[in-house]
Amino acid sequence: MSRFVAAHATHPDWRMALALAAAQLDAQHAADPAERPLGLVYFTDAYAPHAAALNDELKRRWPDVTWAGCVGVGVAASGAEWEDGPAGVRMRLHSTGWASAARCRAL
């Protein structure tokens, strides 16, 4: 069992970026369907005006996940970095794997 699944995407429209990341998360979760009740989301300030809508969509897509996160001028994940543009990183963690979140950091 993997302690967490992670996804990242960039797109000018936050909805499309979320859909791209959701496809990645859902595919990983389907391959390893462990319970992952904590979700972390990091996104760039380009999406900040849409934070409430983004949070609502996360809750709608994954109602069994408690989401926490932050916004910054850049995000980094799995060898990808974005600054000064729209991007987001999402993770779902198993309750015993929260310390593994250090692999993904907000800049």
Q: What whole-number distance in Å separates Cα of residue 26 and Cα of residue 35? A: 13
What is the layout of strands, in order, in the sheet containing 66-72?
4-9, 88-93, 38-44, 66-72
Q: What whole-number distance in Å separates Cα of residue 67 and Cα of residue 9? A: 18
pTM: 0.75
Report pLDDT for 49: 92
Q: What whole-number distance in Å separates Cα of residue 89 and Cα of residue 43? A: 6
User: At CA 77, angle to CA 66 and CA 45, rounded to 5?
Assistant: 70
Across residues 16-37, what is the average pLDDT? 86
* CB contact at 8 A, 39 and 101: no
Report pLDDT for 90: 61
The answer on pLDDT for 96 being more than 50 is no
Helices 14-31 + 51-61 axis angle, to 10:
30
- Residue-level length of the chain: 107
The answer on pLDDT for 37 being more than 60 is yes
Is residue 88 very low, low, confident or very high in pLDDT (cuts 50, 70, 90)? low
To the nearest whole number, what is the mean pLDDT of the chain? 76
